Amino acid sequence: MSDSVVLGPAKIGDAPGIANMSRLLIEPGLPWRWTPRRVAAHMRERENLVVVARDDRTLVGFAMAQFNAESVHLTLIGVAADRKRGGIGRRLIAWVEESAVIAGVFRINLEVRAGNQEARSFYARLGYKETGRAPGYYSGVEDAIKVTRDLRVTSQA
């Protein structure tokens, strides 16, 4: 369960931990793009939101999103391997969605690796729809599935 898990805005000191989680959970088999330096640079841009989930002081999840005028791009989301299926991912995405609604933006877009069935099931459960495929999107190694959610449509989740 995620009862003892607290969500909040990331601090710059979280960048190495987030980058490591991205490398291990999201980018295996691909060149490591979300290095600590890049995550920190992303955090410093005002249009980006980075939220972390902590259990005591341990980082157990994170989400990164970029806010544009018409849509929010969910850049990355990850939950520590030993904490999956405890509702942390659902809480992280809810934070991003609530922030989007407050900002007056009602469309969330993202890409997911075609072979990542776990994440595709997660997004589907939360009311996200698959809209297309981008061949070779991930460094020519793997296709991306394009996924979207209109926040004005109530999710069944």
Ligand X SMILES: CC(C)(COP(=O)(O)OP(=O)(O)OC[C@H]1O[C@@H](n2cnc3c(N)ncnc32)[C@H](O)[C@@H]1OP(=O)(O)O)[C@@H](O)C(=O)NCCC(=O)NCCS
Q: Work out the angle at residue 143's Cα, subtended by the Cα atoms of residues 139 and 148, and round it to the nearest 5 degrees.
A: 115
Q: Does 18 participate in binding ligand X (rule CB under 6 A)?
A: no
Least distance to ligand X, CB of residue 7, Å: 12
Stretch that binds ligand X, among 11-19, 100-108, 112-120, 127-135 (CB under 6 A): 112-120
Binder among 15, 25, 39, 65 for ligand X (CB under 6 A): 25
Shortest CA distance to 30 belongs to which of 129, 112, 100, 125? Answer: 112
Max CA distance (Å), the chain:
41
In 3D, which of 118, 113, 134 has the Cα closest to residue 30?
113
- Residue of 16, 6, 23 lying closest to 81 (CA atoms): 23
Which of residues 1 and 69 has its CB atom nearest to ligand X in the complex? 1
Identified binder of ligand X from the candidate list 90, 106, 142, 143, rule CB under 6 A: 90
Please work out the total of residues on this chain that contact ligand X, with binding judged by CB under 6 A: 20
3-state SS class at 73: strand
Which stretches within 1-157 are classed as H helix?
A: 15-21, 36-44, 88-102, 117-125
Q: Considering the complex, what minimum distance in angstroms separates the CB of residue 27 from ligand X?
A: 9
Under the criterion CB under 6 A, does residue 122 sit at the interface with ligand X?
yes
Which residues contact ligand X by CB under 6 A? 25-26, 76-79, 84-90, 112, 116, 118-119, 121-122, 125
